[in-house]
Amino acid sequence: MDGATVVERTTDGSAEPYVPHDPTGSTASRGLTVLDVVVHYPDPASSKGPGTTAVRGVGLDLAPGEVLALLGPSGCGKSSLLRAVAGLEPVAGGSITWDGRDLAGVPVHRRGFGLMFQEGQLFPHRDVAGNVAFGLQMAGVKRSAAAGRVAELLDVVGLAGYAQRPVATLSGGERQRVALARALAPEPQLLLLDEPLSALDRGLRDRLAADLRAALVATGTTALFVTHDHDEAFTVADRVAVMDAGRLLQVAAPEDLWRAPASRRVAEFLGYQAFVALGSAGSSRSLGDSAADFEADFEAADRLSERGRGVPRGGSDRSLATDPLSERGRGMPRGGSDNFSAAGGELLAIGPTGLVLVPGAHATDELSEGGRGTDRRSSDNKSGAWSANGTVVRSAFRRGRTEVTVDVDLGAGPQRVVALGMPSATPVPDGATHHSFAPAPGGRVRVALDLAGCAVVPTDS
Ligand SMILES: Nc1ncnc2c1ncn2[C@@H]1O[C@H](COP(=O)(O)OP(=O)(O)OP(=O)(O)O)[C@@H](O)[C@H]1O
């Protein structure tokens, strides 16, 4: 980068100044720079038709050695952007540069980039070593040198000893490992991966995502990785770029993204399950809708703000996402309810672990106030801040915990959420563990906020 200010798009499509990511602090333009790129497909039925604009002015950069995930729902334009970087799609606007060199007009095979797709597409007539060696042979690497590199890469992807195996005898996961080794072998300056794990089952994906990350780090490979699975993106990437409808919504390191989604849309896509107005004026049923709730609101916002202040600045979060929690947190007034309302316009985003069942608390109508609990300071309320009464839809035991689906009014009308059952104090007969609190459908329960599983997002996004 020459230090020039470039532009990324915000949630509403407006442009904001953006300082490109450069962990070295160097002002040299290194790695990939995507600037205001547009990808447009003509209408297949008629040349006069409007066609589809798949990418609408996206800007991002990728430092040498960095792994960036493009994350977003199906059809949001991830693959189109990746293909444009690869040179497989022409750009209708903007520019793509590598180490400062404009790639417009540079054909795919001259970009020095590697590609890996969902189906590894191995050569069926070659064995494992023959597949991995393919790119090296094309690059003119001598057979003796290639053999060493092949062995090294099979080791990196966890397939040491597989060199002579016919690829037809491999499992799906093993095939993808071979495909990865083959893509890494020529040491591409940038590796482009399009949903490389999506054909695999969940357990295998989780394992391979971790192995993929390890292989990319071990080989120092710069990589752009497309996925619609946020767990996968968080496992594999140094930074995650969230796309929606052709635009970039936020770029941040996984933890920062999770802790401080820049908008409700990003939070929804990450799996935040409910949104409650936080101290906003004019909301008749919000977390701040009564004097009695003010203190809880304040505590909630303030505690989140404290966490936000811990988000490191610079480095990986020098992206279009500034530090919303910190910024908002600093502005959070400490005073009367009027002041608090003035700082409204924020939503408490409740994540998958942001609600817990209050153990032993079976909601009764006496406890509720229009469906909401008022016993905010009760000792059995985990968050100590807020609770509401709801009706159990079902309970399911998953991944070592009880997830209880509850119909509840959190302040924005009735909705269906998932609360985590807290372990009861009752030991299992064999003494190994504790039962979870798993109430039966139709039962009345109380759910409480666990602020560790919540974030604050702006209302107007
Ligand atoms: N070759 C094409 N011709 C016309 N439209 C296309 C073409 N390829 C993609 N599109 C359209 O462009 C939009 C973005 O598609 P793209 O494949 O980039 O999305 P994606 O986020 O990668 O989706 P997925 O996760 O489902 O693969 C979609 O509306 C899609 O229908």
Q: Is the dihedral of CA 376, 379, 382, 384 positive or negative?
A: positive
Q: Is the dihedral of CA 82, 86, 88, 91 positive or negative?
A: positive
pLDDT value at 335 more than 80: no
- d(CA 20, CA 7) in angstroms, rounded, equals 9
Taking CB atoms and a 6 Å cutoff, what residues make up the pocket around ligand 1? 41, 52, 54, 72, 74-80, 228
Give the pair of three-digit tokens for residue 148: 């060493």
Q: Report the 10 Å Cβ neighbour count for 318.
A: 19
Query: Tens digits of per-residue pLDDT, 218-233?
Result: 999 999 999 999 999 9
Report ipTM for this prediction.
0.98
- Residue minimizing CA distance to atom 30 of ligand 1: 75
Give the pair of three-digit tokens for residue 401: 């915990």
What Cα–Cα distance (Å) separates residue 438 from each residue in 289, 403, 405, 419? Answer: 31, 8, 10, 11
**Which residues, 6+ apart, have CB-to-CB distance to 15 below 8 Å?**
7, 8, 9
What pLDDT was estimated at residue 292?
42
Q: Report the 10 Å Cβ neighbour count for 181.
A: 29
Local confidence band at 206 (pLDDT 50, 70, 90 cut-offs): confident
Say what percent of the chain tops pLDDT 70: 69
Ligand 1 site-directed mutation target among 38, 40, 41, most atoms within 8 Å of CB: 41
pLDDT value at 385 more than 90: no
What Cα–Cα distance (Å) separates residue 245 from each residue in 6, 150, 251, 429? Answer: 21, 40, 15, 53
Whether the Cβ atoms of residue 53 and residue 40 lie closer than 8 Å to each other: yes
Atom of ligand 1 nearest to the CA of 77: 18
The answer, as to whether pTM is greater than 0.80, is no
Atom of ligand 1 nearest to the CA of 226: 22
Higher pLDDT, 316 or 444: 444
Ligand 1 site-directed mutation target among 53, 76, 269, most atoms within 8 Å of CB: 76
Scanning the structure block, which residue is given the tokens 């919000």? Answer: 286
What pLDDT was estimated at residue 377?
33
What pLDDT was estimated at residue 460?
61
String of DSSP letters for 317-334? G-SS---HHHHHHHH---
Query: Tens digits of per-residue pLDDT, 362-377?
Result: 554 333 433 344 333 3
When pLDDT is averaged across residues 386-396 and rounded to a whole number, the result is: 90
The Å distance, Cα 124 to ligand 1 centre, comes to: 29
